[in-house]
Homo-oligomer: A and B are copies of this chain.
Amino acid sequence: MNYTETIGFVAAILTTAAFLPQVFKTWKTKDVTGLSLPMLLMFFAGIVAWLIYGVLKDSPSMIFANSITVVSAFLLMYFKIKYSKK
């Protein structure tokens, strides 16, 4: 793995890991009042676009990071829709 991809993977691990506690917290507390569905949709669409960009740029770090984050973003949208029905 070259120098550039090493930095990319450090970035990928840091930003992906920083995002996971939010998913875990929302799953545990079922508190979705602080989450906005339009924002989550924008974020999800943005991550999908970054994933496509990572493939086009031939960037293993971006493909790795955004593949995980797209699942996290999807879960947050799912929780928001599921737990808002009250």
Chain A residues with a Cβ under 8 A of chain B: 3-4, 7-8, 10-19, 21, 34, 36, 39-40, 42-43, 45-47, 49-50, 52-53, 56-57, 59, 61
* Contact indicator A15/B47 (Cβ below 8 Å): yes
* Contact indicator A42/B57 (Cβ below 8 Å): no
Count identical subunits in the complex.
Answer: 2
* Contact indicator A14/B45 (Cβ below 8 Å): yes
Measured in the bound complex, the distance between the Cα atoms of B48 and A8 in whole Å is: 10
Known: A8-B49, A11-B50, A15-B47. 6 other contacts (CB 8 A): A4-B56, A10-B46, A10-B49, A11-B47, A14-B43, A15-B42
List the B residue with the shortest CB-CB distance to A17.
Answer: B42
